Amino acid sequence: MSASQTITDLAPLKLVIVGHVDHGKSTLIGRMLHDTGSLPDGKVEAVKAMSDRRGMPMEWAFVLDALQAERDQGITIDTTQIFFKTPTRPYVIIDAPGHKEFLKNMVSGAASADAAILVVDAKEGVQEQTRRHGYILQLLGLEQVVVAVNKMDLVDHAKGRFDEVAGEVRDYLASMGITPAAILPVSARHGDGLAAKSENMPWFSGPTLIAALDALEPKPLPVELPLRFPVQDVYKFDERRILAGRIESGKLNVGDTLLFSPSNTRAKVQSIEAWSVNGPVLSAAAGQSIGITLDDQLFVERGHVASHESEPPVQTNVFRARIFWLGRAPLEVGRRYKLKLATLEHPVEVQAIERVIDVSDLSERPADRIERNEVGEVVLRARAMLSVDEFTANPRLGRFVLIDGYDMAGGGLISMEGFHDLRRANAPTSQNITAVETRVTTDARWTANGHRSGVLWLTGLSGAGKSTLALELEQALFRKGWQVYVLDGDNIRFGLSADLGFAPKDREENIRRVGEVAALFARAGVLVITAFISPYRSDRDRARAVAPDLFHEVYVNAGLAVCEERDPKGLYKKARSGEILEFTGISAPYEAPDNAEVEIDTGALPLPQSVEQLLSYVEANFSTKGS
Amino acid sequence: MNHLDSLEAQSVYILREAFNKFDRLGMLWSLGKDSNVMLWLAKKAFFGHVPFPAMFCDTGKKFPEMYAFQKEYSEKWGLNFIRRDCPPIEEIDPTLPPAARSAARKTEALKRLIAELDLQAVIAGIRRDEEATRAKERVFSPRGENAEWDFRDQPPEFWDQYKTDFAPGTHIRVHPLLHWTELDIWLYIQREGIPLVPLYFSRDGKRYRSLGDMDITNPVASDADTVEKIIAELRGTKVAERSGRAMDHEAEDAFERLRSAGYM
């Protein structure tokens, strides 16, 4: 077999062609296909006829403009994939459009590309979409960029102009951390500098465009990263229970112990199943769609992620993300979207928009919304623990899309900057723990008690009235015959947390213990009322995560001024005088709940009304009478 | 992983996504090489099973070899095979050119089958390299109430996240072979030993590169009578695969009109 017979069996290198409108992307592609001898017979004649019919000189862009509508408009409206080959290897090119509103098509093409050709008009230089596309390439993690400075014939093939434009492009790309693989002068319409060296530009000693492309490398599969095997589905077509999915990164072998997140359960790989293959499969790696059976029938479902125990994904319910927005309606604080990350789907809420980035000059500004085609940084929060990676650590589980209604409205890259991995905080340190299945279910306890159980987690400033409210409520419910108990600062601090002080770490640990104890009480059938300032959202969220189905957050809301005036224990005075350091509301932050189940305005309401409001919430949500 | 491995893995991923997302799903089985590869990939994805019906819209004008093949492999592959007749030509839009009008019978039959089985999604074996309008397709491609395709406003599709949330009444075409080329298909057929209708192999100096209705499909001159010879032939050719399919060439926009109206 000759060389040309074997190269077609290689995986094609995926190229995306980007650049400002009318800088000549389609012409470059059409001409490149021609110059590499990749056009089917008769196509050149067809393009010639099409051009003639429209009274135009030979228009190479028509090679791609397959749709009637496009030819009429004279612009390329959607991503097209075209195959061609050089003597070195096959390529597939994605013709990304230049029009501003077509970001979604560019992203659809560029996200799967190995490399990009950025086309820049020699006359016009770097324009708005040149910058925008460059930014998106970087955002999508596309690092191999070849810059074609096109239409050199219109600037008399002048070296001076080329150097100017090349410098401009290089500077912009460098500001985003991209070093182009090559910057070269071409004149696509005339095939100058594409496959053959240009006679018009003898001053250029660099490669032709084709030679520059042939020097690129396909994006390697992330085989060396830690194992991530997101479960796509669980099949039981026959006696086998098969977990199906694609290995996103790393490798796995039969016999490996897998850790499933977020359930934190473990099992060994018993077999790797396959149909119509020679012999048993004993290992698999990134990129492969496989199926495995386990030695233990764990509860596993779509969205769970298998890893090795030593290198699990991050566990969190809040993270930062860089977002590009494609939605018709803007992204706004407080709005909910469906997050899709590998096979995981989960609702998330926008907690904050940190900034919007103007991709044409990389300036940043604060904003309360991200509009279509804009890029910004946000904080997203979920009700449950998600298994993710930082994009920089593992792109496959570090990227996600957001669904608004029925539509894919944006994509994002995860950063954990400023947030903890909650895995360690939630995971037992001791290895020999087996959960004991009690024979008395929580449901049975509810039936016996005549009410549901749960955790009413009161949070608010010191002096807001948490303890008073808790004790009043406890008494009122006890009189009705309820199983109810208050966990307050002192009764915990005297015993369970006697070893802890008031340093931030100790406070965090104290709240963690309260969360665990409250959950135990709740599972035992008791309605637990906790009264702790618990100023940090992450601490409260962790407490929620212990028993998410039983947890009700109650925001006891009284303004700082009111609390400071009440100052029942004289603590605010001491804090103001510096006698107490890190006092919540004065010298330490209070993070108000953003999605508490109920909010009691104890700043405005007198105590009896506050108790009444909370009591009716409890009766509506915990009473089993009449339901 | 080599090139064929990664093509296979991607298709398997797509088929599993479709199976997870749609309760009422069917696969079009035209009996051609691509849809045989697609069925084979389904068996790979679902470990020897094909957990949805294999559907065939019968124009009544297929080659006898195709009907024989269908009989044999429906059974061998354990398929839930569903065949429906296409409506007569008189019921089809008379403004279409003759061959396209003939092909549109399949579209109409498919629409009726979708309604009859109340399908949410149909898996079809089209490829981007086959034909220019197919190059514009998405892997999960939504259709309106009348199966029409709006190529101007297609959903974004990246990072293997497909459109899986829809307004009621939307119908989805799933395209697990979109990223394959004709040569890939043949290399995979060779590697896996996938059975085919014998018309693909040369007899008396002619063979079919693409199979449709008898009256609108023409053979090409070829001596390739084995998979190996066909692969060698494809490596050298510059003739388009569907050049033998009359309906593609009647007018500049004939195929585009067919597809906008719901053709595969």
Chain B residues with CB-CB distance to A244 below 8 A = 16, 45
End-to-end CA distance of chain B: 31
Is residue B229 included in any domain, yes or no?
Answer: no
pLDDT, position A405: 93
Same structural domain for residues A126 and A243? no
Total Cβ atoms within 10 A of residue A231: 20
Q: Is A338 on the interface with B (CB under 8 A)?
A: yes
**Residue B191: inside a domain:** no
If one counts the domains in chain B, the total is: 1
Among residues A174, A121, A180, the alpha carbon closest in space to that of A145 is found at: A180
Of B133, B159, B165, the CB nearest to A406: B165
Looking at the domain assignment, is residue B204 inside a domain? no
Bridge partners (DSSP) listed for residue A35: none
Tally of domains within chain A: 4
CATH number of the domain where residue A330 is located: 2.40.30.10
Q: Does the beta carbon of A287 lie under 8 angstroms from any beta carbon of chain B? A: yes
List the 90-149 stretch of B: residues with Cβ below 8 A of A.
Answer: 128-129, 132-133, 135-136, 138
Within a domain: residue A219? no
Q: Is A293 on the interface with B (CB under 8 A)?
A: no
Shared domain for A269 and A328, answered yes or no, is no
Q: Which residues of A touch B48 (CB under 8 A)?
A: 237, 275-276
**Is residue B28 predicted with pLDDT exceeding 60?**
yes
Domain boundary among A308, A329, A360: A308
Structure confidence at residue B239 (pLDDT):
67
Is residue B214 assigned to a domain?
Answer: no
Q: Are residues A102 and A243 in the same domain?
A: no
Residue B230 within any structural domain of the chain = no
Is residue A378 domain-shared with residue A268, that is, in the same domain? Answer: no
In this structure, are A98 and A198 located in the same domain? yes
From chain B, pick out residues whose CB is under 8 angstroms from the CB of A114: none
Tell me: do A237 and A330 sit in the same domain. Answer: no
Q: Nearest Cα to A201, choosing from A156, A243, A262, A252?
A: A156
Same domain, A118 and A187: yes
Both A452 and A593 in one domain: the answer is: yes
User: What average pLDDT values come out for chain A (627 residues) when binned by 10 residues?
Assistant: 48 88 87 84 78 84 54 41 82 64 73 92 93 87 93 96 97 91 95 93 95 92 96 94 97 97 93 93 97 92 96 94 94 96 96 90 89 92 92 95 95 89 62 64 84 95 92 92 89 84 81 93 94 90 88 94 88 87 83 90 90 92 72
Strand order in the sheet with B121-123: B81-85, B54-58, B25-28, B121-123, B171-174, B140-143
Q: Do A360 and A481 share a domain, yes or no?
A: no
**Would you please indicate which residues of A are annotated as catalytic (active-site) residues?**
534
Asked if B43 is an interface residue toward chain A (Cβ–Cβ < 8 A), one would say yes
Please indicate, yes or no, if residue B17 is contained in any of the structural domains. Answer: yes
Domain of residue A586, CATH code: 3.40.50.300
Chain B interface, best mutation among A45, A81, A247, A389, by max B CB count within 10 A: A81
A461 and A509 both lie in a single domain? yes
Minimal C-alpha gap between B60 and chain A (Å)? 31
Nearest-CB residue to A302 (from B6, B20, B155): B20
Residues A562 and A477 in one domain: yes
**A272: containing domain:** 229-308
Domain interval for residue B69: 3-180+250-260
Alpha helix segments (H runs only) across A441-566: 442-449, 466-479, 489-493, 504-523, 537-546, 560-566
ipTM of the modeled complex: 0.93
Task: Please give the Cα distance from B15 to B31 (Å, whole number).
Answer: 19
Whether chain A has a CB inside 8 Å of the CB on B192: the answer is yes
Query: Which residue from A68, A244, A274 is facing B16, i.e. has the nearest CB?
Result: A244
Structural domain includes residue A105: yes
Query: What pLDDT is stored for residue A232 in this prediction?
Result: 98
| Predicted local distance difference test score (pLDDT) of residue A73 | 38
Nearest residue on chain B to A302, alpha-carbon basis: B20
**How many angstroms separate the CA of residue A170 from the nearest CA in chain B?**
27
Cβ–Cβ gap A406/B166 under 8 Å: yes
| Binary contact (A67, B151; C-beta < 8 A) | yes
- Same domain, yes or no: A495 and A409: no
User: What is the DSSP secondary-structure string of B93-112?
Assistant: -TTS-HHHHHHHHHHHHHHH
**pLDDT confidence tier of residue B254, bands split at 50, 70 and 90:** low
Which residue in the set B3, B6, B8 is minimally distant from A9, CB to CB?
Answer: B3
What is the per-residue pLDDT for A78? 44
CB-CB neighbors (< 8 A) of B253 in chain A: 67-68
CB contact set of A508 (below 8 Å; sequence gap of 6+): A536, A539
Of A443-447, B88-92, B143-147, B221-225, the range with the lowest mean pLDDT is: B143-147
CATH number of the domain that residue B122 is part of: 3.40.50.620
